[in-house]
Structure 1
Amino acid sequence: MMKKLVIDVDTGVDDAQAIMVALAAPNVEILGITCSHGNTTLENACKNTLRVLKMCERMDIPVYRGSSGPLLARKRHAADFHGKDGLGDAPDPDAPGLECLQEEEAVKALIRIVSENPGEISVVAMAPLTTLATAVKVDPSLPGKIKGLYIMGGNTESRGNTTVCGEFNFVTDPEAAYIVLNTFSCPTFIAPWEFSCRNSLPWSFCDTWLDQKTAKARFMERIFSHTRKMIQTVRYQKEVVGEATFNTCDAYAMAAAIDDTLVTESEKVAVTVELEGTYTRGMMVLDHMELLKKEHKATIMKKVDLEKFKKMLMASLK
């Protein structure tokens, strides 16, 4: 069966990798891509998304402009990691312009697409959750129409990559993450930061992945160069990742949405987000003691079939 997806992105390099995984999957129909602030500015995220679609010859997929900033938090971007433009500062003079965006804005498009396909759409959220939080405020019935929600974000052991205890997507808009985790009652699958670190791949695989003799591989090699150098610095490996491995965070959530058998170990637990802590604002909280009395449990990904994941990544650049 074809899997119908709406993808919410803040397109930096890992979003580009995830989008290309979805585009290469034969069982996937992407009904729309909504763009948000996050890794880079909203404008850059929109441009970068269009650029990826052009490279993959899929400009038929509609792209929608979303939120330019968080609900309440101060703006933050990840220019040091993804480059100032979000795609490694590797410009393309022939990249599509913003006139290629749809006139309809992202929140309205998300609500419309889901409403037109009730129970059929899986949403893959790889950006700060501003778009989804706004959408559920506009249409509280939205979560009940979604087949599944796949989130890259949050953390399970207070291990931060942006603040002491916080993962980037949740820290960038904590209120949005709180709203989504506490109002979306559809099946929810979360790929947290520690999970992606534990399921990362050796750099030798990355070399093989990028060595494919295709235009897509050359494109990925160009946009990934800045981020790769950043990741491979001794300081980053020691303080953030912990070992020298290739970790394409967003692609895990995307791969799980595409292939139901990819995740080999998970747990179901109620979750929320801390909003007030000096050091813990934006941290995902797992309620193992069930003190929150929440009926809805999220599925927290723990392990994946790495051989399947490698095949999906390889196919994305063919």
Structure 2
Amino acid sequence: MKLILDFDTGIDDAMAIALALGEEDAEVIGITSVFGNAEVDKCVHNASAVLKLLDREDIPVFRGASHKLGASEDYIQETASGIFHGLNGLGNIELPAGNNISDQDAIDFIIESANKYGEELVLVTTGPLTNVALAIQKDLPAMQKVKGIVSMGGALTVPGNVSPFAEANFWKDSEANNIVFDSGLPIKVIGLDVTLRTLITDTDIAPWLEMSEAAEVFHEIVTYYFKAYANSYEDLTGCALHDPLAVSVALKSDWVTGETFRIKSLYGEQEGRLVQDQAALNRNEEPNVFVALGVDAEGYNKHFLDTIVKAF
């Protein structure tokens, strides 16, 4: 399966990149960067740096949206993202970028790839949906050719992580969420309902210290993430595999179970909250979004740990 990773590369995005490179059935054709865990230029740098670290500079990185739809100023990292991902997005570990940052715009690359690969291509998003929404607005017929979108975002049946209602990715651009949801493209939402059940601990990654330089660097980055979780969640041990789970579901859907709903993303005081679109249901409009509600956490965690090391 050909994948475009539409990422706001922070720590769990970095793990998701490595996982995708370790997945035997995945061919990553490019990483399109979007604002989110940090400013977009930092996310571009981080994606390139992770690929360089893993000796995969053959994969190009593209710069995408720097702010949400309708905004006049570029996004600046907010405090919560800095706490979880560090000011640079990678736990304040400084890594050099590779020679794989493309001059082509991310939205144009997405559209070009949709036309070229069609049903062979899945988009995996782990940040705001802004790039995908812009691609849909620019060329919906092209985007309708792809197999689908798997998006890490949202919280339907559990509390959010940036407000009582909203998850961080979907909170950052509610307008983009609704453009994607209403596009008719097949979309699977992998949200906090399932990702917070996929936890790894420092014991799980201890073997990385004995593997390679890349594995050691990843150990250092993920250890930062563990500390951020420990300071923020009293009831969780370790860290959640938010973004890696989305990558794996793109390749093997039965890691999760769920239901298809007619979903919309709210604005204002409940920005980014996912709710059933009752008005659309009253108009007999079809359900539009698959939402993951269950996960084989034990099986998935083992798969993650067995697979990511193949990239090291």
Give TM-score, length-normalised by structure 1.
Answer: 0.88
Candidates 231, 237, 242, aligned match of 2:233: 237
Give the direction of change, closer, same or farther, for the CA distance of 1:35–1:195 in structure 2 (3 Å limit).
Answer: same
1:71-82 mapped onto 2 (5 Å cutoff): 71-72=69-70, 75=75, 77=77, 78-82=81-85
Candidates 248, 251, 256, aligned match of 2:241: 248
Aligned equivalent of 2:135: 135
Q: Distance in 2 between matches of 1:206 and 1:133?
A: 37
Q: CA deviation at 1:30?
A: 1.1
Give the direction of change, closer, same or farther, for the CA distance of 1:161–1:224 in structure 2 (3 Å limit).
Answer: same
Candidates 18, 22, 32, aligned match of 2:30: 32
Aligned equivalent of 1:295: 286
Greater Cα offset, 60-69 or 212-221: 212-221
CA contact 1:15–1:250 (8 Å) conserved in 2 = yes
Q: Distance in 2 between matches of 1:31 and 1:120?
A: 11
Q: Distance in 2 between matches of 1:258 and 1:69?
A: 29
Helix, strand or coil at the partner of 1:232: helix
Aligned equivalent of 2:114: 114
Q: Distance in 1 between matches of 2:148 and 2:210?
A: 33
Q: CA deviation at 1:229?
A: 0.9
1:1-12 mapped onto 2 (5 Å cutoff): 3-12=1-10
After superposition, what is the alpha-carbon deviation per residue over 1:52-100, rounded to whole angstroms, capped at 9, x for unaligned?
Answer: 11121111011111111111357353112100000000113xx125x63
Aligned equivalent of 1:83: 86
Letter aligned with residue 272 of structure 1? K
Is 1:311 paired with 2:303? yes
CA contact 2:7–2:33 (8 Å) conserved in 1 = yes
Give the direction of change, closer, same or farther, for the CA distance of 1:114–1:150 in structure 2 (3 Å limit).
Answer: same
Q: CA deviation at 1:201?
A: 2.3
Q: CA deviation at 1:25?
A: 1.0
Identity among equivalent pairs (%): 28
Q: CA deviation at 1:6?
A: 0.8
CA contact 2:181–2:264 (8 Å) conserved in 1 = yes
Give the direction of change, closer, same or farther, for the CA distance of 1:283–1:215 in structure 2 (3 Å limit).
Answer: same
Q: Distance in 1 between matches of 2:262 and 2:233?
A: 31
Q: Which has the higher helix share?
A: 2
Give the direction of change, closer, same or farther, for the CA distance of 1:288–1:218 in structure 2 (3 Å limit).
Answer: farther
Helix, strand or coil at the partner of 1:190: strand
Is 1:167 paired with 2:159? no
CA contact 2:199–2:301 (8 Å) conserved in 1 = no
Helix, strand or coil at the partner of 1:117: helix
Greater Cα offset, 141-150 or 206-215: 206-215
Is 1:20 paired with 2:21? no
Helix, strand or coil at the partner of 2:66: coil
Is 1:96 paired with 2:86? no
Letter aligned with residue 107 of structure 1? I
Aligned equivalent of 1:196: 195
Give the direction of change, closer, same or farther, for the CA distance of 1:84–1:287 in structure 2 (3 Å limit).
Answer: same
Q: CA deviation at 1:48?
A: 0.5
Q: Distance in 1 between matches of 2:253 and 2:203?
A: 23
Greater Cα offset, 201-210 or 66-75: 201-210
Q: CA deviation at 1:151?
A: 0.4
Give TM-score, length-normalised by structure 2.
Answer: 0.90
Cα root mean square deviation, aligned: 2.1
Letter aligned with residue 93 of structure 2? A
CA contact 1:158–1:283 (8 Å) conserved in 2 = no
Candidates 226, 229, 239, aligned match of 1:228: 226
Give the direction of change, closer, same or farther, for the CA distance of 1:300–1:209 in structure 2 (3 Å limit).
Answer: farther
Structure 1 runs not aligned, ≥5 long: none
Aligned equivalent of 2:152: 152
Is 1:281 paired with 2:271? yes
